[in-house]
Structure 1
């Protein structure tokens, strides 16, 4: 029986496909040249993977970032990662890692002119940027004229959840890549890969990974870690919402408003509002 395919958007699988030495020249290079078509009109020729290995201890660590970091032939650095849990801090986090990559380039005694461009690409499985574009690109620009101050920091957000908001041409190679990453049905693979260099190799890698017992075991461990992380985030968020409702209800009770109205406005049950009323009084 054929094993069910692993999901490419789980970061462990994503890094295996895009961050391995054997795939860098065909899979990663082709993907980056499509992803950066608007901002890097001259395609990259070669890449050096800066973090090709996966620490197996990191698979069980909810805080681990299994990213893909590469350097181009002209010294530019690219950080590529996928996120399935919304921690509500991706903008700050991406800016922090971009700045860190930028700062780490400068060796003691070297001039600032030696600093090379840093590109961060964040692929998200959830909505984050408040528009209907699946691919948003950010730079440092002047507020009024839109003039670019410097091109050295570039941050991309690609939101898989927005791929279905509007129709996309199937010959858009970036869309083909993202549909594959999003776990599109295997019966669509041939059409997606037809005119998208490197994508067939990525698909073959996924098929082999899905048949590998150790890879599947690590994949399941990583899924559990990510699920635990999401559960913790959901718990904190629900506690925050509950606390917020209680505070609103308490203020309304102090204003002398009826329990039924407070329950209707806050979404709490009348029993919960009555219990809060008894605690206050």
Structure 2
């Protein structure tokens, strides 16, 4: 048997959860998600963008999400994210707003708008908390009253889920996420003990892993995702390099300004004082930019005690 493919690949995730023949799998997964949000189970869903052959890695820029509608007309968007894109929180809110506004056609009343739910499954840690499942609504800060129920955003962070910390035999959302996280097949039986639909997801994964065309499409998508991640890493490094270059230039300008001031007061003493002042000014600018004291010390040559003294003096002025 060939090695199992990774269900976190968004192409494969959509094949497993977003195909018409697996709507029952998606429904079971959604109900486990909503159960943890203390919401009643859904009875039925309709996948609005089911997987079809054109949903392939050949269309590299496509977003392989899953959009579904409940019998009440509420909209749900599920998306798998393998790596952290810039401004993930804003991106999430932007795509939620597009889903929400897409309901309204010209001439319709705002009252026709239905609740929209976004579910992001993340293969990285995003939020500064411990739970693997975080749920956001629009509420008033002091009293906690809900302004409106129409917005609901879930983050499911796979790295925060530990197999040893959950009771697999009890079933639940954690079992679905452990399957996605890549738990070995020898643990599948206990995962499916109280999750019968999860068995169908596993069967689908095994079938696709043996299908030559599916593997080809999977590999193409993996390459694209890895290329995207590499580009993001390169951009991040370039930004860091540019920032360091900016610090060096700022230091040079500070020294030059110091020299000019020093000449006015006397060549020998002025240069020394000017350079010192230029370095201090650069240190102060870096403090305002939010850099930590150790980094500023390495960039300017000032010791950390002098930098703290500069910071205190600046704050008191």
TM range (shorter): 0.7 to 0.9
Shift of 1:28: 0.4
For structure 1, which segment, 185-194 or 88-97, has the greater mean C-alpha deviation from structure 2 after superposition?
88-97
Query: Residues 120-148 of structure 1: CA distance to partner in whole angstroms, max 9, x if unpaired?
Result: 00001011111111111111111222221
> What stretches of structure 2 of length at least 5 have no aligned partner?
256-274, 280-293, 300-317
Kept in 2, the 8 Å contact 1:62–1:226? The answer is no
TM-score, with structure 1 as normaliser: 0.86
Query: Residues 13-67 of structure 1: CA distance to partner in whole angstroms, max 9, x if unpaired?
Result: 0000000100102x10000000111446221111111001346475144432100
For residue 229 of structure 1, what is the aligned residue in structure 2? Answer: 228
Partner Cα distance (1:191, 1:181) in 2: 15
Kept in 2, the 8 Å contact 1:54–1:66? The answer is no
Partner Cα distance (2:163, 2:238) in 1: 32
Q: Does 1:184 align with 2:183?
A: yes
Secondary structure of the residue aligned to 2:35 is: coil
Secondary structure of the residue aligned to 1:198 is: helix
Partner Cα distance (2:296, 2:87) in 1: 32
For residue 287 of structure 2, what is the aligned residue in structure 1? Answer: none
Higher CA-based Rg = 2
Query: Residues 80-117 of structure 1: CA distance to partner in whole angstroms, max 9, x if unpaired?
Result: 01011211222222212211111121233332222111
Counterpart among 129, 132, 135 of residue 134 in structure 1: 132
Provide the aligned C-alpha RMSD in A: 2.4
Partner Cα distance (1:55, 1:235) in 2: 32
For residue 59 of structure 1, what is the aligned residue in structure 2? Answer: 57
For structure 1, which segment, 87-96 or 159-168, has the greater mean C-alpha deviation from structure 2 after superposition?
159-168
Partner Cα distance (1:45, 1:88) in 2: 36
For residue 273 of structure 1, what is the aligned residue in structure 2? Answer: none
For residue 214 of structure 2, what is the aligned residue in structure 1? Answer: 215
For residue 199 of structure 2, what is the aligned residue in structure 1? Answer: 200
> What stretches of structure 1 of length at least 5 have no aligned partner?
267-281
Partner Cα distance (1:88, 1:156) in 2: 18
Q: Tell me which of the two structures has the higher relative contact order, counting C-alpha pairs closer than 8 angstroms and 6 or more residues apart.
A: 1
Secondary structure of the residue aligned to 2:135 is: strand
For residue 277 of structure 1, what is the aligned residue in structure 2? Answer: none
For residue 160 of structure 2, what is the aligned residue in structure 1? Answer: 162
More helix by share: 2
